[in-house]
Structure 1
Amino acid sequence: MSHILLTLAPYQVLTYGTLLGTQVFHTFINSILSFKVLERPQFATLQRAVFPAYFGIQTAAPVLLALTYPGSKNPFGVPSSLAGVFHPSNRWGVLVPLGTIFVTGLVNLTYLLPETNKMTDLRREQEKKDAKASYEKGAHSEEMAVLNKKFGQLHGISSLTNLITLIATIVYGVNLSSRLE
C-alpha cells in the first residue's frame, strides 16, 4: 500500500477532488446560502475574501493535475506528467480541459476579480453621494446606473467564466474516469 504514495495517482485524485469539490460547493451551496442569509454588504465582504482563494485554486489545480497526470502502465503507452498531457491522444480530453481551467481561473483571478472589486468600491462611493444603496429598488442616479450596469456585466462574465471552468473540470474528470479499470 505504501508504494502507491510513490506514484502520481493519489496526488492526481486528491487534486481533482479538491478542485471539483471546491467548485461545486462554492458555486451551488456556499454562494447561494450566503446570499440568502447575509445582508448585502456582509455578503460582498465575504465574497471579496473568498474569491482570491477560490480563483487561486482554479488556477493552481490544473497545473498540479498536469504535473501529476498518471500515464499508462504499459511502457509504450501515454507517458506521465506533462508529456502525457501534451500527448496527441490526450489533446481533447486532457490538454484542452486543463488549459481551459487554467486560463479561465487566471482570467477571473487577475482581471475580472480586480475589476469587479474596483466597480464595487466605486458603487460604495456613489452610494454615499446618492444616500441610496446600489441594490435598492427604484430610480438611481445616472452615475449609479452606469456603475450598476458595468458591475452586472463584469459579474455576468465572471459567472460565465466560472461555469466554463466547472464544465471543463467535469470533462477532464470524465476523461480521467475512463482510464479506471
Structure 2
Amino acid sequence: MSIVFTLAPYHVLGFSLLYGTTTFHSYISSPIAFKVLPRKEFGVLQKHIFPGYFLAQSVGPILIGLTAPYTLATAGIASLVVSSLGGLVNYAYLLPKTQGIKEQRLALNEDEAAEPSAEMKKLTSQFGKFHGLSLLFNLVSFLGLTVYGFQLTKGLLKTIPK
C-alpha cells in the first residue's frame, strides 16, 4: 500500500506544521514585529493573527492525536490534551478578554504623549494581567507539543523493524 494512504505522513506533517507555527510565531515573528511596528499596527496585526493561531492550537493537537499511526501512550495523549487546553483557554477566554480591554483603551482616545488617566492606567494593568496569562497558556501549549514530539519519536521508532 502506498504511504499516501496511511496516517503516518499526515500525522508527522500536522505535528510539524503546528509545532513550527507555534515556535515561529511565539518566539521569532511576534518579538520582531513588536520591536519594529508601532504599537497600534502591532495590535492590528496580532488581532488578525490570534484567532486562527489559537484555534489551530486548540484543534491541532486533537487532529494530531486522531491521525497517530500507532497506539498513543498515556503520556502522548496527556501532552496533546495539555497543548489543546492551552490553546483553548487562549481562544475562548483570554483572547476575547484582552481584545475587549484593548478596545476600551482605544475608546479613551488619549494622547500617548500625555500622562495616562486613572482609567487608562487601570485598563493597562488589566491588559498586562490577561496578556501575561495568555503568554503562560501559550507556553503550556508549546510545552505540551514539545513533550509530544518526544512521544512521536518514541512511537515512530517502535514501528521501525530491527
User: Within 1, Cα distance between the matches of 2:32 and 2:92?
Assistant: 26
Moved over 2 A (4+): none
Matched letter for residue 125 of structure 2? K
Q: Aligned AA for 1:157?
A: L
Aligned to 1:152: 128
Counterpart CA distance in 2 for 1:164 and 1:62 is 13
Alignment-derived partner of residue 122 in structure 1:
104
Q: 1:110 is matched by which residue type in structure 2?
A: A
Deviation sequence 1:51-97 (CA, Å, 0-9, x none): 011111111211111110111xxxxxxxxxxxx34xxxx112x1111
Report the equivalent of 2:117: 141
Q: How many percent identity over aligned positions?
A: 39
- The CA distance in 2 between the partners of 1:44 and 1:29, in whole Å, is 17
Give the total of aligned pairs.
157
Deviation at 1:139, TM superposition (A): 4.3
* Greater gyration radius: 1
**1:46 to 2:45 alignment:** yes
Q: Does 1:107 align with 2:89?
A: yes
**Whole-Å separation in 2 of the counterparts to 1:6 and 1:46:** 38
Cα distance in 1 for partners of 2:77, 2:154 equals: 15
CA distance in 2, matches of 1:62, 1:161: 15
1: distance between equivalents of 2:130 and 2:111?
22
1:166 aligns with 2:142: yes
Shift of 1:140: 2.3
Partner SS state of residue 178, structure 1: helix
- In the alignment, is residue 95 of structure 1 matched against residue 95 of structure 2? no
Give the C-alpha shift of residue 145 in structure 1. Answer: 1.2
- TM-score by length of structure 1 reads 0.82
> Matched residue of 2:3: which SS?
helix
Distance in 2 (CA, whole Å) between partners of 1:109 and 1:124 is 22
The two structures have a TM-score, normalised by structure 2, of 0.91
Name the Cα RMSD after superposition. Answer: 1.4
Query: Structure 1: which 5+ runs fail to align?
Result: 72-83
SS of 2:68's equivalent?
coil
User: 2:56 maps to which residue?
Assistant: 57
2: CA distance between counterparts of 1:66 and 1:167? 16
Q: Once the 2 structures are TM-superposed, how far is the Cα of residue 178 of structure 1 from its aligned partner?
A: 1.8
Distance 2:83 2:3 in 1: 27
Which residue of the partner structure matches residue 81 of structure 1? Answer: none
